[in-house]
Amino acid sequence: VKLKLNLLLIAALSAILFLTSGCNKTQPITPPFHGDYPAQELRSMWSFCVMNFTFKAPQTPRFLVAQMCDCYLDEMRTSHPFKHINNLSDNETRAMGQHLIKECNVAPGQNQQT
């Protein structure tokens, strides 16, 4: 009886130690994106990107188009708050477009690094 009680106590303490040893305080991570983009707006921008890309480069595989449009939106949200997107000058819009192409477009036969 005493042996069973000791084994039960050791098992209980081991379980408590196991369950609590992996508990670390959660470290908050600052997201890289400006959080002011409405979900509906993001969906519209992504859909427009896919349709436009498919129209201009129909030979591009759909999964690459989706990856590149994901990248476009991620890059835009990283560098520009939503409230500034519609107020960019023509030169700023052109510069942003060139940056997005450089960062996100995948050459045929090349995998995008995400």
Average pLDDT over residues 1-9: 78
Position 4 pLDDT exceeds 80: no
- CA proximity to 111, closest of 70, 81, 67, 54: 67
Q: What is the pTM of this model?
A: 0.66
Per-residue pLDDT of 39-87, as tens digits, reads: 999 999 999 999 999 999 999 999 999 999 999 999 999 989 999 988 9
Question: How far is the C-alpha of 47 from the C-alpha of 54, rounded, in Å?
Answer: 11
Contacts for 46-54: CB closer than 8 Å, 24+ residues apart:
46/70, 46/73, 49/73
